[in-house]
Each structure stands twice: as C-alpha cells, then as structure tokens.
Amino acid sequence: MRRNERGDGTKEERGRDRMREKVSRYMEKNGMLKAGQRVVVGLSGGADSVCLLSLLSDMRSSLSIRLRAVHVHHGLRGQEADRDADFSRELCRKLDIPFILKMENAHQEAQNRRISEEEAGRLLRYEAFEQEAARWEEEEREQEGAALPVRIAVAHHGDDSAETILYHLFRGSGLRGLAGIAPVRGRVIRPLLCVSRQEILEYLREEGLSYVTDSTNLLNDYTRNRLRNQILPMAVQEINRGAVEHILRAGEIIGEADQFFRERAGKFLKKEGIWKESCLEKSRMLAVPVSALGSLAHIEQGYVIREAFSELGWPLRNIDASHIESILSLLDGRTGAGADLPGGVRAERVYENLVLKKKERAAAKDGLPRLSMEVIPRENQAEIPKNRYTKWFDYDKIKDTLSVRYRLPGDYITLKGGGRKSLKSLFIDEKIPREMRGSIPLLAEGNHVLWMIGGRISEYYKVTEQTKRILKVHLDGGTNCG
Amino acid sequence: MRRNERGDGTKEERGRDRMREKVSRYMEKNGMLKAGQRVVVGLSGGADSVCLLSLLSDMRSSLSIRLRAVHVHHGLRGQEADRDADFSRELCRKLDIPFILKMENAHQEAQNRRISEEEAGRLLRYEAFEQEAARWEEEEREQEGAALPVRIAVAHHGDDSAETILYHLFRGSGLRGLAGIAPVRGRVIRPLLCVSRQEILEYLREEGLSYVTDSTNLLNDYTRNRLRNQILPMAVQEINRGAVEHILRAGEIIGEADQFFRERAGKFLKKEGIWKESCLEKSRMLAVPVSALGSLAHIEQGYVIREAFSELGWPLRNIDASHIESILSLLDGRTGAGADLPGGVRAERVYENLVLKKKERAAAKDGLPRLSMEVIPRENQAEIPKNRYTKWFDYDKIKDTLSVRYRLPGDYITLKGGGRKSLKSLFIDEKIPREMRGSIPLLAEGNHVLWMIGGRISEYYKVTEQTKRILKVHLDGGTNCG
C-alpha cells in the first residue's frame, strides 16, 4: 500500500495523497462509480491517461472496481504510434490491468466521413471504448445474470475544460457549451476534470511514472492551441493566478443552471405538450398551448423549444438564437403566422397552439395507408368495437366505389341529426392544424367521407339497429401506435 | 432632420442610420425610456459619451424626451481637465442641451474613503448624476405635481461589457458578474451596450464630431488594460472575428438565468421564509423550513441564501461559494449544528428550520427595553387590551420586586391549569432558536416570569374577574414595529 496512513510522510507522499483524495472526492460528488462497477479506461499512453489509469488502479481494492484499458491505434504516425501501443501494453502489464489494443484507420475514416483526421480519431476512440464496454457488459450478464453498466473513464483535465469554456464563449454558445466538459455523460466519466495539467505532471513525477508524447499534439488545431498556449496562460499570469479554477467554477454554476432549465423544460413538455404521432408519417409533430408557453420566462421558453426539438429527434445543430426568437415571436402572432426553420421544420401559430412540425414532403402524398375490408352479417357480433383503427360501417348504405385518398374540394361528412358539414369547416372546428390537413387519409364514397382514418366517421354510415350487413375496415399496422 | 428617409443616401448616411436604429431598438427592447421622460446624460467629453449625447439629442423629438448633460471635473489632471470641461460645455451649446458642471476633488475623496482615485472618481460621478436626477425630479414635481423618474444615461459600450465578463470569469464570479454590465439598473440606463467601440468611432467620424482623449485612460488599471488591449484583441483575431458579440450574447443569456433565479428565490422567501424582527434588535433573523429549501435544486438553494442575505440587508461581499455550501450542509445536519460566516452571521439548524441570524454581541446584553408601568383600578376598564406591547397583570398577586432582565437558570412560567413550566423547556417547545433565547427580555418576580416581553405572559398573573388592581405595563417604543 503506497498511501501513507500516518500523515507524516515525505512531501511527495503527501502530494500524491492529496491528488488521490481530490480525485476520489470529485468522483464521489459526481456519482461516477459504484462499488463493484467495471471501468473501461481510455489509454493513449500520454501523461493524462497514464495518470488516470494509475489513480484508478490504486482505487481498485478500496472501491472494488475492475478495470480494462483500451488503446486505440489510429494507423497514423507510423512507428511513433507503435511505440505508444507498446508503452501502453507494458504499463498495463506492470499494473496488472487487462489491455485491449484496437487497430483503426483514422485516415480512411476521415475520408469516408469527410471530417478531419483528428475528429475521425476522436470518434473512433469513443466507438472503441463503447464497443468494449458493451462487450464487457454482455460477458457479465452471461456469467452473472445481471450487470451494472460498464463505465468509460477518459482523461480530460481541468485545463481542457477551461479551454472548452473559452472556446465556446468566443465562438458563440448557449449555457450548455459554457458549462465546459461534462464530468459524466452517458457511460463516460471524467475523473480528472478537478485537476490541472500541472498537477497531473507533478503526480507523475512523484510517482516516477513515465509517459509518451504525441509529437503531433502540439501542432494540431490552431484555435485550441492559441487558447491553450497563449490566452489561458495570459489570463493566469496577467489577470489572476486562479483563472483556470475560476473559469471551471463558473462552468459548474452555468452547468447547474443549464441542467435546471433543461429538466424544467422537459417537465413542461410532459405536462403541456400535445404530441401528435401518426403511423402514416415518420416524424411527429408537437403542439404547445400558447397560454402555457407564454406564461414562462423568456429563457424557459427558449429551453422548451430546444427540448422539443430534442424530443422530436430533430437536430439542434443549425438552430441558433435567432431561430428560437422567430419561433417565440409566434406567441404574439395570429393563427396561420409561421416561421420556416433549418431542417425543413416549420413552426406555426394554429389557434391557441404553437405547432412545430416537419414540412410535408411531396413523397408523403403517396404513402396512403392500406386498409383491409371484410363484409360480415349484423347478427354475428352485437358489440360495435371501440377501436381507433378498426371501424364498422353500414354496408348497405354504400352505393358507389370507395376510395382511400387525401382531401378534395367539396368533401363533407354527415353529422348527428343528418346535417352535412364540409371537411374544411370540420378541420377548422376541430382545430386541426392546417399543415396536417392535407396528410390525413380519408375513406370516401365520392365526396362523402366515411372515415377520417384514425379519427371520426360519418354518422350516415354508422351501424344502427337496422343495419343488415357490416363493412369492417381495419387499418393495417394501425394497432401498434397512436 | 438628418435621417435619410428614402434609404438611398450616401454610405455614411446609411451607416449613421444603422447606428441610430440599432441603439433605438436596444433601448426599446430594454425599456430604457418612456415618452416624456427626462434624462441626465453623463458627459466626459470622450468618444463614448459624445456619441451617446449626440444619439440621444437626435431622439429628442421622436421620443419627446428632455436632456441635461452633467460633466464632472475631478480636480485631477490640471489643464487637461479644464479643457475637457470647456469642450463638453461647447458641445452642449451646439446641441442646445443644458450643461451642468460639477467640481469635485477625487484626490481628497480617495484619501477619505481609502480607495483609488479612479474608484473615487467613479463614485463621485454617479453621485453627481444621481443628485442632478433627484433635483430635476423635484423641480418637475413642484411645477407639474407629478414626475416620471429621471433617468441617467451613461456611455458604456459592448467592449466594456465583454471586458467585464472576462474580468469576472478570470477572477471568480457567480452568474451575476458573468452577465456583464446591466443595460438598466435603478435609474441608470446604458444605451450603447449594443455597439462596439469601433462602431462608436466610425459614427463620430461620419457625423464629423470631435471628442477629447483622457491621457490617463490608457495608463490606469493594469488588469483592465491587459484584457482590453491584449486578451480581447487576441480572441477576436485568433479565435473568432465575432468574439466580442459572442461574449455579449453569452452574458445576456447568463443575465436572464441570473434574473430568473433571483426572482424565484425572492418568491420562495416570500412564501416560505419566517422573518423574525424584534424592536429590541436592529438586525432581523430568518428561518426557512428545511423541507421546503431541501426540495429545491442546488442552484436554487444558493440563490435563496444570497437573496436572504440581501433582504436582511447583510453584505454579500465576503460570502463565497464555500460559505453557501457550509450553510446548505446544515440541511442534512441535526438541530444545533451551525456555521459561522463573515460579518458575524451565524447559520444554524434549529429543529425543522434553517436559521440565519447575526450573532449576539456582548453589547446586546445591556440594551434591555424600557417599560413604563402604571397601577389602575379594575373597574375603570372592562376590556383587556389585545396588544403585543401593552400587558395587564393582577397587581395584587405580585409580592416581590419586579425586574427586567434576560433569562436566568431556574426561570419558569405558569401555564393554564396552574402547572409550572421551565423557561428552558418552553423555549424548546416553542422552537425558539437557541441563539435568540438569551436576547429575549423578561419581566420577572424572582424566578417567576410574568412576561416574555413581546410574547406570552404567565397565567398566574393574568387579570381575572377577581382582580382588584391592574398593573399596566407598556414597552416603550414597542408600538411601531412587530
């Protein structure tokens, strides 16, 4: 046991203990690991990941965790990369940690995905870690029936996060980007965010641990390097010695605020959002009552819109503050006012709702649903089924050919009491958003609509005591959703 | 009218129009001015304030506002300062704006207040503006019976605010500091926060307006100058051309978040806070139910504590995140757990409440209240007064000398039914916070407490049908509060 329990060791020993305690506390505070959990550690062989592996290695018995190290060879940098892989394998042998080497081709990947080699490398690394984590979980499940989720530990440190905060601050960002690097996201944990690069180097020196240096590291990414090598050091030297810690602390508070607003927006949408999903369309649409959204603070409104995009599975990449404002301006608009947004999204004021939906594509016109029909005698079944996707009609009232189609001018439906109502005014009465109207499939006899498929049917065709034969119509695939 | 209404003027004219529109929109968005309002404009004669005065001067008729310019001569910089005052007076003459010159002595002020001359100058300027605004309001009120509040316009621009954000980011700050310079605070409005220093200089050039340069401006405040002249330009040149705008936009969002949390904390305290104010003490204390505070998000809890300090009128200057955490840790503490904070504030867990109060000073022991007493016959007044600060006692039950004092061991009170209860257990039953117990003044006969002054009285001494003579006791000065 290397830890000095009497607290009277050398300066180096105390330094190492401080580092271990600092990282332990940070991990605990952020709920990074549970006893018995498995951790895949990303190991490049560089200073940061060697420090991370060493610290986690020390914690193995006290936390009863198990480790595997994954080294990704990017197929770049020739012999230097081979050297890094060898170094990493040797370190794991010494620490008695299983070592997994993943051979990748970042150059090829970059070409395939049309991204930079650095970005491709990053994606390949996380994919490799995720793969190994999933595989390990599977092994555990087979052996023990159940498994805690396997975590992935990566070695980002405080300077990385401070750099990220400045990067986003200077290039434009909402609160989320200004929060810096997340300590926990999904499986991924980042135990070293609480320490600086300097502390890592001191720890390695005191532990007598060596590490490799990636010769391309100092060359890549011009912007990042300006931040790392010029702006951050200037802030520390000229403005405040504790600048990095202060930036990180600001990031923490901003992160808390961001999370607060996101959770609140999620709850709001769960309570107030009207989600319309049709089997006939892949994308969903969302309506939010203007009164509810309008009663929120402006910052909450923005979060609700962003959260809605997330929940609808629409990318937020190209949505900036001006788009959010153009959506929110509809709160003061009249019905029909709308805003077109990137990604084919349209926001529209529809009566007392704000509606978000993907614009109809021409292709949608073709995707009419398939109906299966069957004629059955009345006496066979007394109870009319209350089923959204199976409807009965009085077969003997149908005189002409039935068609499945979208609306046409002159379409109408029969109301209780026998009056006719045009489909158009019915849509308006039922506050069906204009942009949905064209994509509601209909079962019709001429202009007389039997069924707004998935919705109401015409009174005229309803099964009554007098009905002799029943037309049973079922929407194929219609039972599993809605 | 200089504005080009046909939109086909020269490049310069369009540039000037853009500037006016940008500033107008910003003022409107932030509710800076109402029609008919008076504005005191701070005018140093430098580029920023000349631009501000010129823009507001142009808006006089369209917004029907009235202006006065105030120039503060700091008594520093000899002839240069006289030149600036002359320049400012001349500009106001040209623009037909009343000019007020305030002569101050920033050097003396700095010595008196033990602050830097720059800081003294800043304070003197705002005081001069406030004075003039108050005076103008008074004039209006005398002439017209009522007056809109007079505003004070100062010339901070976007770069100033971006600089402030970085300054706070590097030196440590909560969300409020990271929001940058407030567009509106109290009377003060800052119409130029939406434009850059560069835009101001271009506007002045296009308008053919000259301005003075303070030769000490470029020398003062080392830290600020590093930010202004090195870090911000580097961010713009090396990281992102729009860095200043992006920083300002981030500040706006952070400001919205900050305001949201502050308002929310204020509402929380209004609903849940139990304010105890005694005439006998200058400071108030606050109790907050642990269950209510504990149900909030961590970031909200911090805001509640800060808001409580504000409302109690206690300075937040020396309260940092670690103090807030030590207070919040009491949510998990047992009764009696406490934390001592700067400024003599103590936070304590008292049963199901978190209590904030100033620690008793030794001096408080001396500040016993004065009681006036009077013996009156029973028949004179049938109705026993229900008054917190005037109490009646059965005079004939008092056998010994009465004293006004704080609690002593063995003190007791008589309950309904005649049982005695020790003052100590009464305090516990009534959940009177421990730290208040020693400062509750008592009226006592030996160990028998007649009156916990301001609170309950002993049953034993209560006036009954049998009472012949009444001792009427009144707490001097006790009617105006509580």
- pLDDT tens profile B340-357: 888 888 899 988 899 998
- Nearest Cα of chain B lies from the Cα of A77 at a distance, in angstroms, of 28
B245 contacts in chain A (CB < 8 Å): 172
Q: SS3 breakdown of chain B: % helix, strand, coil, rounded to 5? A: 50, 20, 35
Chain B residues with CB within 8 Å of chain A CB: 166-175, 178, 223, 226-227, 230-231, 234-235, 238-240, 242-243, 245-247, 249-250, 253-254, 256-257, 260-261, 297-300, 321
ipTM of model:
0.71
CA distance A461 to B5: 65
- Identify the closest residue of chain B to A233 by CA–CA distance: B231
- pLDDT tens profile B252-311: 999 999 999 999 999 999 999 887 755 444 457 889 999 999 999 999 999 999 999 988
- Nearest Cα of chain A lies from the Cα of B170 at a distance, in angstroms, of 4
Report CB contact under 8 Å: B249, A321.
yes
Domain spans in chain B, listed from the N-terminal domain onward: 11-239, 273-359, 365-475
Taking CB atoms and an 8 Å cut-off, how many pairs form between chains A and B? 113
Order of strands, sheet of A402-405, starting from the edge strand that comes earlier in the sequence: A402-405, A442-445, A448-452, A412-414, A420-422
CA distance B474 to B297: 46
Fold of B11-239: Rossmann fold (3.40.50)
Report CB contact under 8 Å: B231, A226.
no
Q: DSSP H helical segments within A64-157, as ranges? A: 78-95, 106-113, 117-144
- Nearest Cα of chain B lies from the Cα of A270 at a distance, in angstroms, of 19
Q: Measure CB to CB from residue A172 to each of B178, B223, B249 and give the nearest one.
A: B249
Question: Which residues, at least 6 apart from A383, have a Cβ–Cβ distance to it below 8 Å?
Answer: none
pLDDT at B3 over 70: no
By residue count, chain A amounts to 482
CA distance A313 to A288: 17
Residue B212 to residues A186, B49, B75, B85, Cα–Cα distance (Å): 58, 10, 17, 10
- Identify the closest residue of chain B to A163 by CA–CA distance: B239
Structure tokens at A61: 């018995």
pLDDT at B136 over 50: yes
Order of strands, sheet of B99-103, starting from the edge strand that comes earlier in the sequence: B99-103, B66-73, B38-42, B151-153, B188-189, B184-185
B19's enclosing H/E stretch is helix B11-29
Question: Which residues, at least 6 apart from A289, have a Cβ–Cβ distance to it below 8 Å?
Answer: A272, A274, A352, A353, A354
pLDDT of residue B280: 46
pLDDT in tens, chain A (482 residues): 444 444 455 666 677 788 999 999 999 999 999 988 999 999 999 999 999 999 999 999 998 999 999 999 988 877 888 899 999 999 999 999 999 999 988 889 888 888 888 888 889 999 999 999 999 999 988 887 777 899 999 999 999 999 999 999 999 888 999 999 999 999 999 999 999 998 999 999 999 999 998 655 544 567 888 888 889 999 998 888 899 999 999 999 999 999 999 999 999 999 998 877 554 444 578 899 999 999 999 999 999 999 999 888 888 877 888 899 999 999 987 877 888 888 888 899 988 899 998 865 433 344 677 777 777 887 755 677 777 778 889 888 888 778 888 888 889 999 888 888 999 888 888 877 777 788 788 899 888 999 988 788 899 998 888 888 888 888 765 443 33
Residue B57 to residues B31, B46, B69, B162, Cα–Cα distance (Å): 18, 16, 11, 27
- Nearest Cα of chain A lies from the Cα of B25 at a distance, in angstroms, of 15
- Identify the closest residue of chain A to B239 by CA–CA distance: A223
CA distance A244 to A197: 11
B242 contacts in chain A (CB < 8 Å): 172
Q: Strand runs (DSSP E) across B380-477, as ranges?
A: 390-394, 402-405, 412-414, 420-422, 442-445, 448-452, 469-475
- The CATH code of the domain at A365-475 is 3.50.40.10
A298 contacts in chain B (CB < 8 Å): 256
B295 contacts in chain A (CB < 8 Å): none
Q: Measure CB to CB from residue B170 to each of A167, A246, A321 and give the nearest one.
A: A246
pLDDT of residue A362: 39
A11-251 CATH, one of 3.40.50.2000, 3.40.50.720, 3.40.50.620, 3.40.50.740 = 3.40.50.620
Nearest to A251 by CA among B305, B169, B167: B169
Q: Measure CB to CB from residue B170 to each of A178, A223, A247 and give the nearest one.
A: A247
Q: DSSP H helical segments within B389-481, as ranges? A: 423-429, 434-437
Nearest to A243 by CA among A161, A171, A173, A156: A161
pLDDT of residue B249: 93
A166 contacts in chain B (CB < 8 Å): 235, 239
- pLDDT tens profile B364-403: 344 677 777 777 887 755 677 777 778 889 888 888 778 8
DSSP letter at A346 equals E
B173 contacts in chain A (CB < 8 Å): 246, 250
B117's enclosing H/E stretch is helix B117-144
Q: How many CB atoms lie within 10 A of CB A107?
A: 14
Instruction: Decide if B442 contacts B452 (C-beta within 8 A).
Output: yes
Q: Measure CB to CB from residue A239 to each of B227, B261, B298 and give the nearest one.
A: B227
CA distance B354 to B273: 10
Residue B283 phi/psi, 5° resolution?
A: -85, 150
Instruction: Decide if B339 contacts B347 (C-beta within 8 A).
Output: yes
Structure tokens at A344: 């084919």
- Nearest Cα of chain A lies from the Cα of B383 at a distance, in angstroms, of 51
Report CB contact under 8 Å: B243, A171.
yes
A169 contacts in chain B (CB < 8 Å): 169, 246-247, 250
The CATH class, in words, for A273-359 is alpha beta
pLDDT of residue B215: 58
Report CB contact under 8 Å: A172, B240.
yes
Helix (H, G, I), strand (E, B) or coil at A217: coil
**Side-chain half-sphere of B443: how many Cα atoms within 13 Å?**
26
Q: Measure CB to CB from residue B178 to each of A170, A250, A298 and give the nearest one.
A: A250
Helices B243-272 and B298-312, interaxial angle, to 10°?
Answer: 70
A174 contacts in chain B (CB < 8 Å): 253
Instruction: Give the confidence band of B120 by pLDDT, cuts at 50, 70, 90.
Output: confident
Residue B87 phi/psi, 5° resolution?
A: -60, -45
DSSP letter at A208 equals T
Helices B197-207 and B11-29, interaxial angle, to 10°?
Answer: 130
CA distance A178 to A165: 5
Mean pLDDT of B444-468: 87
Q: Measure CB to CB from residue A299 to each of B235, B240, B253 and give the nearest one.
A: B253
Question: Which residues, at least 6 apart from B84, have a Cβ–Cβ distance to it below 8 Å?
Answer: B44, B45, B71, B73, B212, B214
Interface with A, mutate which of B166, B169, B240, B248 (most A CBs under 10 A)? B169
CA distance B290 to A261: 23
Distance between the two ends of chain A, CA-based, in angstroms? Answer: 61
Q: Within chain A, how many helices (H) and strands (E) appear? A: 16, 19
